[in-house]
């Protein structure tokens, strides 16, 4: 798997959110709050983690997403997972 | 001679309503205590099986709250009207409602002889309410798969269930928000949803406002029971997963947007 840039990860995440939850693509930016702006609750988050697992090809521990609040936080968490996998 | 309605809307009438509200709260609290050690345990202990006492107790609570609503009205605290009440009596429906005031559930249970209720978990610690809630076997709103499964089972067994999809009273000045639990329950059970709208003519017993801040005029409650919504309408392609629940919650938001705006417009 090739190393992905932050932009690529963000684009993928945006597409996933649109496809999975029918969220308006315009509302998705790095600062968007998952719960308050995008209305993603804990049940939705489980589905999102499954999709991210497919995307990274890595096992994901929910703790890795414990402090995630914004879309940018998700991108960072995914970047971390990818970086660890390639280290 | 001054009519009763005119008096109640006057300054003196407002003082009366402050006193009467306090009195109604005391009666409610004491009443809850008294029935918890008399009627409710007797009903429970003299019934056989698990379902029978629950139904009997819920029916008793219905009658008591019906009397209580009449009591609040005769104190001059409020007036109310209900349209299409008989739709509430069809068994096995998920009944949803907006939640502008503290007494919405009192009204709704007073209109339904048998209904299961999802109750905010915090009320299990409430000094006056915890026992009626326990005796009535109402369901705590701990969110999760279990709650959804339990509620779906109750509905499929043919009992109606009342839930406020907002999860708590509407927050004044905040945009309307729906928890997704109600939608998940409807989808899991595959039953009709019966939407009720509660319209209040004045801000009263609103979240974050003390009870003694009674509105300038006597509030009028308009409770409208909507058309039942079958699963073929709210989930036509029979999808599973989170998407139909999000769609359904969005529908709830749209459905209640107008009445919420109306209720909010009365806030001081």
- What is the secondary structure of A24-86 as a DSSP string? -GGG--TT-BTTTTT---HHHHHHHHHHHHHHH-S---GGGGTT--BHHHHHHHHHHHHHHHH
CATH class assigned to A6-86: mainly alpha
CA separation, residue A30 to residues A26, B9, B86, B92, B173 (Å): 11, 52, 50, 44, 27
State residue B146's pLDDT score: 83
pLDDT tens digits along B210-235: 999 999 999 999 999 999 999 999 99
Q: Are B181 and B141 in contact (CB under 8 A)?
A: yes
Q: How confident is the model at residue A10 (pLDDT cuts 50, 70, 90)?
A: very high
Among A23, A33, A41, A51, the strongest candidate for a mutation testing the B interface, having the largest count of B CBs within 10 A, is A41
A1, pLDDT greater than 60: no
Residue B1 has pLDDT above 70, yes or no: no
Provide the pLDDT for residue A2: 64
Q: How many CB atoms lie under 10 A from the CB of residue B160?
A: 22
Q: What percent of chain B has pLDDT over 90?
A: 75
Whether B148 shows a pLDDT value over 70: the answer reads yes
- Say yes or no for a CB contact (<8 Å) between B242 and A21: yes
Closest-CA distance of chain A to residue B243, Å: 6
DSSP code for B225: E
Residue B2: its pLDDT value, please? Answer: 60
- Interface predicted TM-score of the whole assembly (ipTM), two decimals: 0.78
pLDDT tens profile B182-202:
999 999 999 999 999 999 999
User: pLDDT-based confidence at B78, cuts 50/70/90?
Assistant: very high
Chain B CB contacts of A43 below 8 Å: 180, 184, 242, 245
How does DSSP classify residue B101? S
Question: CA-nearest residue of chain A to B242?
Answer: A44
pLDDT value at position A87?
67
User: To the nearest whole percent, how much of chain B has pLDDT over 70?
Assistant: 98
Which residue in B143, B184, B246 is closest to A21 by CB distance?
B246
* Chain A residue with the nearest C-alpha to that of B174: A36
Average pLDDT over residues A50-69: 88
Domains of chain B: 4-264 (3.40.1130)
What does the pLDDT read at residue B104?
97
Chosen from B177, B183, B242 to mutate, greatest number of chain A CBs within 10 A:
B242
Report pLDDT digits (tens) over A17-43: 999 999 999 999 999 999 999 999 888
Chain A residues whose CB is inside 8 A of the B243 CB are: 20-22
Domain boundaries, chain A: 6-86
Instruction: Tell me: pLDDT of A58 over 70.
Output: yes
Angle, helix B181-189 to helix B242-264, in steps of 10 degrees: 130
Q: Could you tell me what percent of chain A has a pLDDT over 70?
A: 97
Contact residues for B234 (Cβ-Cβ < 8 A; gap 6+): B186, B187, B193, B244, B247, B248, B251
- What pLDDT, in 10s, does the model give residues B12-25? 999 999 999 999 99
Which residue is closest to A44 within chain B, CA to CA? B242
Predicted confidence at residue A42, as pLDDT, reads 83
Quickly tell me which residue has 């049940």 as its tokens: A43
CB pairs under 8 A between A and B: 22
Is A42 in Cβ contact with B143 (below 8 Å)?
yes
């Amino acid at each position: 798997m090739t190393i992905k840039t932050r932009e690529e990860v963000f684009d993928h995440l945006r597409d996933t959110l649109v496809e999975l939850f029918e969220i308006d693509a315009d509302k998705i930016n790095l600062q968007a709050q998952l719960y308050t702006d995008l209305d993603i609750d804990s049940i939705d988050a489980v589905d999102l983690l499954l999709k991210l697992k497919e995307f990274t090809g890595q096992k994901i521990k929910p703790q890795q997403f414990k402090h995630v609040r914004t879309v940018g936080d998700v991108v960072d968490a995914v970047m971390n997972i990818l970086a660890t996998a390639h280290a | 001679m001054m009519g009763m309605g005119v008096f109640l809307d006057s300054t003196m009438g407002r003082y009366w309503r402050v006193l009467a509200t306090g009195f109604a709260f005391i009666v409610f609290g004491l009443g809850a205590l008294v029935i918890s050690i008399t009627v409710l345990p007797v009903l429970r202990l003299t019934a056989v099986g698990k379902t029978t006492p629950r139904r009997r107790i819920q029916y008793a609570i219905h009658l008591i709250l019906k009397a209580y609503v009449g009591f609040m009205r005769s104190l001059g605290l409020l007036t109310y009207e209900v349209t299409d009440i008989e739709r509430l009596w069809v068994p096995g429906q998920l009944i949803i409602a907006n939640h502008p005031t503290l007494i919405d559930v009192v009204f709704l249970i007073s209109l339904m002889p048998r209904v299961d209720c999802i109750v905010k978990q915090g009320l299990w610690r409430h000094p006056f309410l915890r026992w009626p809630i326990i005796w009535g076997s109402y369901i705590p709103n701990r969110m999760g798969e279990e709650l959804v499964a339990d509620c779906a089972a109750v509905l499929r067994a043919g009992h109606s269930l009342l839930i406020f999809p907002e999860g708590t009273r509407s927050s004044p000045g905040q945009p309307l928000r729906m928890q997704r639990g109600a939608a998940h329950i409807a989808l899991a059970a595959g039953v009709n949803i019966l939407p009720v709208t509660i319209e209040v003519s004045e801000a009263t017993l609103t979240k974050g406002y003390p009870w003694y801040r009674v509105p300038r005029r006597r509030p009028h409650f308009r409770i409208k029971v909507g058309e039942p919504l079958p699963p073929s309408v709210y989930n036509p392609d029979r999808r599973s997963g989170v998407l139909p629940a999000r769609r359904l919650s969005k529908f709830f938001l749209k459905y209640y947007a107008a009445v919420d705006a109306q209720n909010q417009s009365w806030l001081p």
